Amino acid sequence: MSEIKVDTLTGKTSAGDITVTSEGGAATMQLQQGLIKQWSSFDQTGTTYGANTSGDTLNTSSQTDESTAVVTVSFTNNMSNTTYNVQNSPHFDRTIANKNYPRMGAGANVTTSSYFATAAFANGTVDDSLHNSMVAGDLA
């Protein structure tokens, strides 16, 4: 088996231009376009990490409990525009008697430096024990 050890990948044509060929060989894409640029997890209830505490993060400078079911996530390194994609996944808590099934997770109030991670559940909005979110798009 071969092994390559490097600290930096630089494209031949330009520094950030590294092309990756698809598994079937029919398509190509830019490597940096396929990378997740930010992720985070946040506990509003104290059940998972401790109230208003972050879990694992990447490119996340802070997470702030704004209100019921709303967390502001701020970037360490900003995005280049406000058209990036936010995927937010509210936690399904089987211990809640009325089965608090998540109905929606969304990124709202998107700016180049932050977004809101929000959650709606079958029984309304409640603070969540585990807001998981991630961003795909272009860093500034």
Mean pLDDT of all residues in 85-104:
65
Helix (H, G, I), strand (E, B) or coil at 42: strand
Structure tokens at 65: 């409990």
User: For the chain, how many structural domains are there in total?
Assistant: 1
Domain membership of residue 10 (yes or no) is no
Residue 119 has a pLDDT of 75
Residue whose pair of structure tokens reads 């406000």 in the numeric block: 82
Indicate the average pLDDT of the chain.
Answer: 83
Residue whose pair of structure tokens reads 């950030």 in the numeric block: 16
Domain membership of residue 16 (yes or no) is no
- Structural domain harbouring 64: 36-136
More confident residue, 19 or 111: 111
Q: What value does the CA radius of gyration of the chain take, rounded to a whole number of Å?
A: 18
CA distance 34 to 36: 7
